[in-house]
Amino acid sequence: MWRLRVVHSTGYAYKSPVTASFNEARLTPRSDSRQNVILNRIETVPATRSYRYVDYWGTAVTAFDLHAPHTELEVTSSSVVETDRGEMPEHKATWDDLRAEAVIDRFDEVLTGTRYTPDSRGIRRVGERIAKENDPQEAVTAAANWVHSELEYVPGTTGVHSSGLDAHREGKGVCQDFAHLTLILLRSMGIPSRYVSGYLHPNRKAVIGDTIDGQSHAWVQAWTGGWWNFDPTNDADINEQYISVGVGRDYSDVTPLKGIYSGEGSTDLDVVVEITRLA
């Protein structure tokens, strides 16, 4: 069990005053069987009134709007979370289980392609080969292994609008691309799978009390009798170093901060994530 503090700050600077903005933040870690949120607060400068709700996918959302002219907006989420290792489902589904009408109907939304995870005949052929040699649980790690061997991790090579297939054509990408390409492959095999956003403390031997520059991270959850997590970017199981925030079909369901504003001019965006191991 680890205890981690995460401070995630996002700053916008507008070219001219913005008269109104409406925003949604998905920056609150989840409370589930693997992690417990001890505290979370989201603050804005200028100050705003906010309200919270849980979206369709079970992600906590903080919504806030600003109606006074402003040229800057800063949103800071501070969280303390206890994390544990990921656990495998007790029940192991077979391929026949996954082909059952009730399962396909129940998980339709996370079996279907999206703009970020479009269907691909070539990827489907890879899936057929993997499914022939593995049961569904083994197929998840085999799929992540394949993606890990196909993509080189290169920061800045893809944009937030790139699909998993775009990254595959390039042969490189970031964690978002590794997750999207893995989802395309898993869904092609009929394995229900979701995109997970969160944070990763990069140091397994982290010194308690040391604050490091961290970053947002993404991985996948697969359903093979129960949901479980795997990180294709690092080709590894999830452990105490991971903090999950949002789940959905792809990146668009878990965007950390999105909104609309009235005013002209583009914005400069600055994001800083600091992670401290507390225990």
pLDDT on residue 253: 97
Q: What is the pLDDT of residues 69-94, one digit of tens each?
A: 999 999 999 999 999 998 899 999 99
Alpha carbon distance 32, 238 (integer Å): 14
Does 101 score more than 80 pLDDT? yes
pLDDT on residue 40: 96
Alpha carbon distance 140, 219 (integer Å): 12
* Residues contacting 227, CB < 8 A, separation 6+: 89, 194, 221
| Residue pair 222/186 in contact by the 8 Å Cβ criterion | yes
Q: What is the pLDDT of residues 163-215, one digit of tens each?
A: 999 999 999 999 999 999 999 999 999 999 999 999 999 999 999 999 999 88
DSSP calls for 135-193:
-HHHHHHHHHHHHHHH-EE-TTSS-TT--HHHHHHHTEE-HHHHHHHHHHHHHHTT--E
Average pLDDT score over residue span 205-231: 95
Higher pLDDT, 17 or 161: 17
| Residue pair 60/91 in contact by the 8 Å Cβ criterion | no
Split at pLDDT 50, 70, 90, the class of 44 is: very high
Does 277 score more than 70 pLDDT? yes
Judge residue 268's burial from the number of C-beta atoms within 10 Å of its C-beta, 0-12 exposed, 13-18 middle, 19 or more buried.
exposed
Average pLDDT score over residue span 34-57: 95
pLDDT on residue 169: 94
Does 266 score more than 80 pLDDT? no
Report all structural domains of the chain as residue ranges with CATH numbers, in order of start: 2-84+255-277 (2.60.40.2250), 95-253 (3.10.620.30)
Question: Tokens at residue 147, please?
Answer: 């993606």
Average pLDDT score over residue span 134-148: 98
